[in-house]
Amino acid sequence: MTSSDDPKDNSKPKRRIRYKGTHPRKFHEKYKELAPNQYVEDIEKIKSRGATPAGTHRPICVNEILEILNPQPGNIVLDATLGYGGHSSLILQKILPGGRLIGLDQDPIELPKTELRLRAQNISGTTETIPESALIVESVNFENAFSVLRTKGVPLVDLILVDLGVSSMQIDDPSRGFSFKIDAPLDLRMNPLKGQPAAALLSRLKEKDLIKILIENADEPHAEQIAKALLKNRPTTTIKMADTIREVIKTFTPRVQKEEGDAPIRRAFQALRIAVNDEFSALDQFLDDIPRMLKRGGRVAILSFHSGEDRRVKKSFQARERLGVYSKVAPTPIRPSFEEQHSNPRSKSAKLRWAIK
């Protein structure tokens, strides 16, 4: 572990990281952002510019989620997508004393760092860290949440939070291949120990299957042209994939080019990421399992980031409300406030839905 990984280590790096120019540009050079506990003022400055400090994640719709879930001392909470632990660190404070939070994430790279940070946090207003037993962290896909809860001896919970998609740490880390702006192997797996990288998927897909992925996972209007180009080039890196799609965009009319900008590239990355991680089947399984994990009167809040996710959440909640499984569900999705969308552009596409059992 390096000094910057350990949230209890207040010592600054012994030697300044070397970089070209006046400011660090590459992910690994951003030593202040990668040690947010040691450079609190610098981190606040970065956030006030609407940016997310490298290696961190800014939790979205925090007030709205806390209002919906209304965590109380003694509550048992499942955070199915722990990420950076932004939501969970606040929820933990509210469920103590007596409460317990079970945090899941399928990302084995970020999860140990998040667990360290959460365990090192003090109970607010005291110098005591949170009790060992108040936090259970498990590196697992949330499609297995029901069996994890059983194994941990907490089959029913009061509150469930799901914050879908990828974390900023995953997007910003050049070695993970999530961003079309940073050159990296085309991987896109949240759990790099499981399944195949996106490049391997592209190398074996047939045209009709890739068209289906682009349409179903990202509502891509130019699916056929993009699929043809990707299968002709079979890119193995993020930049090559982005360049391949840029060549397709150049064939659009000037009006469509202007309207679309980089959107076809973003959508193709999203579509492949969903396919590589099998995201929809995990979400469908989790939505089916929520009623058997939640106590009567328990509440669930789900943040989604594109129509394919939101459609699934909405359908599942509304169908189960009609069956009487949920007593009440969100009539319409809640959107981040204008201020939040402005200060954190990554929140722009978020939609929050809730249900009460």
Ligand X SMILES: C[S@@+](CC[C@H](N)C(=O)[O-])C[C@H]1O[C@@H](n2cnc3c(N)ncnc32)[C@H](O)[C@@H]1O
Interacting residues with ligand X (CB under 6 A): 57, 59, 81, 83-87, 104-107, 110, 141-142, 163, 165-167, 190, 282
Q: How far apart are CA 223 and CA 45, in angstroms?
A: 40
Q: Minimal CB distance to ligand X: which residue?
A: 83
Min. distance of Cβ 163 from ligand X in angstroms?
A: 4
DSSP 347: G
- The residue (of 75 and 170) whose beta carbon lies closer to ligand X is 170
Residue 82: which of 181, 10, 160, 1 has the closest Cα?
Answer: 160
- The residue (of 158 and 163) whose beta carbon lies closer to ligand X is 163
Residue 25: which of 182, 239, 180 has the closest Cα?
Answer: 182
Q: How far apart are CA 306 and CA 311, in angstroms?
A: 9
- The residue (of 50 and 261) whose beta carbon lies closer to ligand X is 50
- The residue (of 223 and 350) whose beta carbon lies closer to ligand X is 350
Min. distance of Cβ 62 from ligand X in angstroms?
A: 8
Q: What tokens were used for 149?
A: 């809860």
Q: How far is Cα of residue 51 from the mean position of the Cα atoms in its chain?
A: 16
Strand 294-304 versus strand 351-356 pairing type: antiparallel
DSSP 83: T
- The residue (of 213 and 248) whose beta carbon lies closer to ligand X is 213
DSSP 12: P
Min. distance of Cβ 231 from ligand X in angstroms?
A: 27
Min. distance of Cβ 190 from ligand X in angstroms?
A: 4
Q: How far apart are CA 56 and CA 18, in angstroms?
A: 21
- The residue (of 135 and 211) whose beta carbon lies closer to ligand X is 135
- The residue (of 75 and 106) whose beta carbon lies closer to ligand X is 106
Min. distance of Cβ 25 from ligand X in angstroms?
A: 25
Min. distance of Cβ 141 from ligand X in angstroms?
A: 4
Asked if 235 contacts 186 with a C-beta cutoff of 8 angstroms, the reply is: yes
Asked if 53 contacts 46 with a C-beta cutoff of 8 angstroms, the reply is: yes
Asked if 60 contacts 350 with a C-beta cutoff of 8 angstroms, the reply is: yes
